[in-house]
Amino acid sequence: MESLSRVDDPGALTAEGPVVVTTALPAARHLLRDDSLQSTSARTTLVDLALRSRKGDLFAVSDLDGTGWVERFTTQDRSLAPAGQELVQAQIPLSPDESKADGSTRLEHLMDLGFPDWRDRPAIDRGDGVYLAGDQVAAPGLLSEVSFNSALEAVTLALTPARLDLKSA
């Protein structure tokens, strides 16, 4: 058995015994010389949220036309979020010609229907050249992802050419 080894030559797979190929389909297509290894899997837009617990929050919201789904996972497993918080995950498929932004807009609308106050996190841009980063600000992701994404957005906003040009003028 050999693991953690890159194989680029299709001829290297002629070993005796079983062979398990664990790689992306384009690489497997090349290694196995099998053009049928194609995937038409769907693209989706996903959102993970941590929200304050509120009496009467829905368990799930489903868009039967657009096949979107929003679910409060802490309904079944309270250990998924700290006390007083809820883990809400949402997903909606994108059609082949639909942009990520269009899918995000549809998903946000579905989330608005089920969790009207879900956007109530402090904005990253606080005005006057001040930017907020952390795990509880308005940035995508779950847990530490919010910290990373808000930090990236804050730095991007702080270092935009227009902002830097204003400071040097």
pLDDT digits (tens, 9 = 90+) for 12-53: 776 676 777 888 888 889 888 899 998 877 789 998 888 888
Output the pLDDT for position 79. 93
pLDDT class of 168 with cuts at 50, 70, 90: low
Q: Are 70 and 108 in contact (CB under 8 A)?
A: no
Picking from 63, 77, 64, 58, the residue whose alpha carbon sits closest to that of residue 116 is 58
pTM of the full predicted structure? Answer: 0.53
Report pLDDT for 163: 59
pLDDT confidence band for 11 (50 / 70 / 90)? confident
Tracing tokens 């090349």 back to the chain, one arrives at 30
Residues 6+ positions from 136 with CB-CB distance below 8 Å: 121, 122, 146
